[in-house]
Amino acid sequence: MNNSFFSRFTPKEPKFFPLLSSLTDVVVKASDLLAECIEKKSQGCDVEPYYTLIKEEERNGDVITIKIFNELSLTFITPFDREDIHDLANNLDDIIDAINSCAKRIVLYNPKELPKEASELSNMICKCADFLNQAIGQLNILKKNPKHISHCCEALHDLENAADDVYAHFITEIFRDEPNPIEIIKLKDIMYELEKTTDCAEHVSKILKTIIVKHA
């Protein structure tokens, strides 16, 4: 119905834009908390309170995502294809889930020390969150200025590639320098989750690129 002649002249519900922006706000808050969690862990502090806060944001993200899904089922005309809105919300929620998973592993595994690459990856996740927040915030004026969203998508792609390189360097170093196999298992799993979070962010950028092709 969204691509039909009739839909071009039918008012479209704008409520999805603030809902998606609220979801990216949660991504930003959770990523900032994760970066603080990793910094405090490197200082030898107890980081369980950070995991508790991140878990709260993860629940907030679930509430917003469910609201978006419910609104999709009730709305006749949507600003973009409903499948794309569904995928955007679902993949943004995946980022929040991945951040929560990172924090959970740090608390449960309690490694002796986090590598410097953990901070590098968490900073990249924060940058991803910022670019996602910018891009989603521009969706309501997509036709006027698609270039800014495209720029954010390219930045997300570059960050994901950089995260791959950081993770590969970490793997090389840990198998060379870490004598304790238990610590290797702990750190490898934590770092994999951190890198995977940037993958989730790039998945959102691919959906945004699809929306640009369809509607810009």
pTM of the prediction? 0.92
Q: What is the CATH number of domain 6-215?
A: 1.20.58.220
pLDDT in the model for residue 5: 40
> What are the structural domain ranges in the chain?
6-215
Task: Write the DSSP symbol of residue 140.
Answer: G
pLDDT in the model for residue 76: 84
pLDDT greater than 70 at residue 11:
no
E runs forming strands in the chain: none
Per-chain mean pLDDT for the chain: 92
13 pLDDT band, cuts 50/70/90, is low
| Distance separating alpha carbons of residues 175 and 191, to the nearest angstrom | 13
| Distance separating alpha carbons of residues 86 and 77, to the nearest angstrom | 14
Cα torsion angle, 123, 126, 132, 133, sign: negative
In this prediction, residues 175-204 reach a mean pLDDT of 97
